[in-house]
Structure 1
């Protein structure tokens, strides 16, 4: 017996069909034809039963779903780098939670104070946005409400007892193990600190914003921050910071560890005496010594933080006419990597092209120098990694691009396109640290850092 074809189509028709009165249905009969039975049904249907509007709606929903899937697929491209970042953050959180075993009171005070500081900074940022836009809207009111609610949650969490914090520590450990498994599956190689067994930078992570500068003032746009690139014994965790409202350099702050930097506590202040002030912002600390650009007369200078002894050397070739795109008065750019200490500058003889010079740390003199093809006024900033200079240039308001490299060992020049996302448009200090293979940027008053990934092939 053949299936009643029309009845199979009934579920596709309008739901209104199911509610037709019984008298609107006509009876069916069965006839025989060629030895087979055939079911013939007749039914009364309204003229407007085909769900055209529902079909159009489903087509639109399908398009929306396809767009949503495409968006999520694009997000997956960034997951590998994010896993590396999350693993580092979880390791740090695990260490901080583990402090509970030795001193639970210290842990609670430290951790929740950090959260309160971050919330205060969010509130300050909302105020700045509101003032800059010169308007009030429900969005800002909503943000203030959320910040207030988060503050209440922090107060509640602070009352948790030791057993609850122990549960958190266990959960952190589980997440850390899962992330490590994911990283192994993705063949992510752990950083090989101190070695150069790679062919150069392959990519840079998304920016990790720490906070607004220690002055909590966005007006301090000039400055820098980071770690000692060659720490002395006992100061491996030290962080340094210096910031100013002009391109002048006259003081530095040293913090014993990352948490003290965030809390702006237990710091050591070093002020430069009259006649030793600097200018420009590409200074670094290497071997517990600050290397910076002296102002008058123009020369490279260093201050030993242990002995408080100053030393100066003039580079007669260096020109005061060429500076970076974002950095006024930045004629000497100090950098340190796995190969030692460097300084970069431009000369009149090279017509503004950048020169790489290797510094002898003992004599504070120039060992050797190399002329590149990078025209300094078009460069945003530069840094050294394993004896290779990398130069950046502006992209758009939120993107910088590593576009050029010069290898001092082989003399090879390369052009590339490695994006470097920025939190703010301009920055005045960008340098690489070989102790953790990170880039440190002072981005318009904010502490920002990046993980660097190398090509191991």
Structure 2
């Protein structure tokens, strides 16, 4: 949603001003704290008003209004759920009163423990309700502003008044700031426990959030990936990356300072892989400013340190080039990063295509430990790691994927589960989890797509294996 809004800003900027310079954020310090000022260089056109572009903008604005209404509906749904939880607390409080009347059956410690738990949950619910209400107000405000924005553009078509153009520019600057605040609040609502593994697994995925078409704006770039650094270095926390091609090859990668510049297609770095280090497959990730990807000569793992521009390669004994995912060619090695570290999955001929999980030592670029699963890799459409647990995905139909399998590297046990989710379009080539925002990033038929994840937060605060509720243990120790 936010990405589409920035895309609208780009289109309107082009429409109203003819040419738009690079967006920038200027951080200023003073005695009261830090501030952020956003600027944009623009040049007024001397040509006639581009009416065709105006029609595109109006259509896009209509789509955004519809998507905003959907997002507001989701937040209202959460409000209803929180109300239901509050009612359960009231019921639990009534039970406590009964316990107090039969105090001989319970110790004082039992009563006090339950009372404290109730108060903590009540406080949490109240806090979430306030957050949801605040986010809902922001989304509604943005919807109204976008409607007014379309009206302003309609006037521009008739009058082409430069003063109105400048007024629209100021309005967009204000909207941009509010969008950033909206994204922050939205993030807090959906991901209150970033970095925590105190949960028992994924319970569901949100609707696909489509940011835009690939940076090449070409339907032929069906292969590739995008996302964020899973362990960003200082001052690169907001950085995004993208790499795409017409085949399952890796020749270059683009980096953007933030989400706006990703959507505006203005990279600050375009890194081309040197001769002899081109890769293949759609399995690459960026971690701690290093690109990890598959290389074919020799067949193995490759690492490019983007700070020092130093290349490394590693060969894994027994790894096979015969087994890839069901809908993505040459994806023999698949890199994943989560809260616990860096991993790569692959298959071996000696295991007859069963998927192997390997933890990578990031400093030495060597393999620390391996786990052999019972999962046949060609029967899987993709996989990713969360909190040391492998989640495997398969295709259900042309619109639906399903997380159907889990392997816990801590307990060495595997499970069948069922967590369906919706695809934006039929084919996708890359699916990766990022622990910095607890989102899934998918490169879906040339589009940037992402998903919010929900976890079962009923696990105790002590560390334990994140096993999904109601899952079926299919095997014990498989090593």
TM range (shorter): 0.5 to 0.7
Q: 1:418 Cα shift? A: 1.0
Distance (whole Å) between structure 2 residues aligned to residue 365 and residue 117 of structure 1: 54
Please show how residues 138-149 of structure 1 align to structure 2 within 5 Å: none
Specify the alignment match of 1:44 in structure 2: none
Q: 1:265 Cα shift? A: 1.2
Specify the alignment match of 2:258 in structure 1: 257
C-alpha distance 415-265 of structure 1, shift in aligned 2 (>3 A): same
C-alpha distance 169-438 of structure 1, shift in aligned 2 (>3 A): closer
Specify the alignment match of 1:437 in structure 2: 438
SS at match of 1:160: helix
Specify the alignment match of 1:160 in structure 2: 167
CA contact (8 A) 1:382 1:430 kept: yes
Specify the alignment match of 2:238 in structure 1: 237
C-alpha distance 107-337 of structure 1, shift in aligned 2 (>3 A): farther
Specify the alignment match of 1:386 in structure 2: 387
Specify the alignment match of 2:463 in structure 1: none
Pick aligned residue for 2:40 from 84, 106, 122: 106
Distance (whole Å) between structure 2 residues aligned to residue 260 and residue 231 of structure 1: 17
Q: 1:266 Cα shift? A: 3.9
Distance (whole Å) between structure 2 residues aligned to residue 162 and residue 263 of structure 1: 16
CA contact (8 A) 2:254 2:271 kept: yes
Q: Which has the larger radius of gyration?
A: 1
After superposing the two structures, state which structure 1 stretch, 267-276 or 217-226, moved more.
Answer: 267-276
Specify the alignment match of 2:401 in structure 1: 400
Q: Give me the TM-score of the superposition, normalised by structure 2.
A: 0.62
Please show how residues 190-339 of structure 1 align to structure 2 within 5 Å: 190-339=191-340
C-alpha distance 169-258 of structure 1, shift in aligned 2 (>3 A): closer
CA contact (8 A) 1:191 1:437 kept: no
Distance (whole Å) between structure 1 residues aligned to residue 433 and residue 279 of structure 2: 21
CA contact (8 A) 2:231 2:288 kept: yes
Distance (whole Å) between structure 2 residues aligned to residue 167 and residue 244 of structure 1: 36
C-alpha distance 102-309 of structure 1, shift in aligned 2 (>3 A): closer
Distance (whole Å) between structure 2 residues aligned to residue 441 and residue 118 of structure 1: 30
C-alpha distance 243-154 of structure 1, shift in aligned 2 (>3 A): farther
Q: Is 2:369 aligned against 1:368?
A: yes
Query: Any stretches of 5+ residues in structure 2 without a counterpart?
Result: 10-22, 27-34, 44-52, 61-149, 158-163, 459-479
Q: 1:191 Cα shift? A: 2.6
Q: Over residues 389-423 of structure 1, what are the superposed CA-to-partner deviations in whole Å (9 max), with x where a residue is unaligned?
A: 00100111111111111110012212111112111
Q: 1:173 Cα shift? A: 11
Query: Any stretches of 5+ residues in structure 1 without a counterpart?
Result: 1-84, 110-115, 124-148
Distance (whole Å) between structure 2 residues aligned to residue 393 and residue 382 of structure 1: 9
Specify the alignment match of 1:72 in structure 2: none
Q: Give me the TM-score of the superposition, normalised by structure 1.
A: 0.64
Distance (whole Å) between structure 2 residues aligned to residue 250 and residue 445 of structure 1: 16
Distance (whole Å) between structure 1 residues aligned to residue 177 and residue 312 of structure 2: 51
Specify the alignment match of 1:56 in structure 2: none
Q: Which has the bigger relative contact order, CA under 8 A and spacing at least 6?
A: 2
C-alpha distance 121-332 of structure 1, shift in aligned 2 (>3 A): farther
Distance (whole Å) between structure 1 residues aligned to residue 241 and residue 183 of structure 2: 29
- The size of the alignment, in residue pairs, is 331
SS at match of 2:417: strand
Distance (whole Å) between structure 1 residues aligned to residue 171 and residue 155 of structure 2: 14
Distance (whole Å) between structure 1 residues aligned to residue 56 and residue 241 of structure 2: 23
Q: 1:106 Cα shift? A: 2.9
Q: Over residues 359-417 of structure 1, what are the superposed CA-to-partner deviations in whole Å (9 max), with x where a residue is unaligned?
A: 01111111111111221111000000000000100111111111111110012212111
Please show how residues 30-69 of structure 1 align to structure 2 within 5 Å: none
- Runs (4+) of structure 1 exceeding 2 A deviation are 101-109, 116-123, 149-177, 188-191
- Supply the RMSD in Å over aligned alpha carbons: 3.9
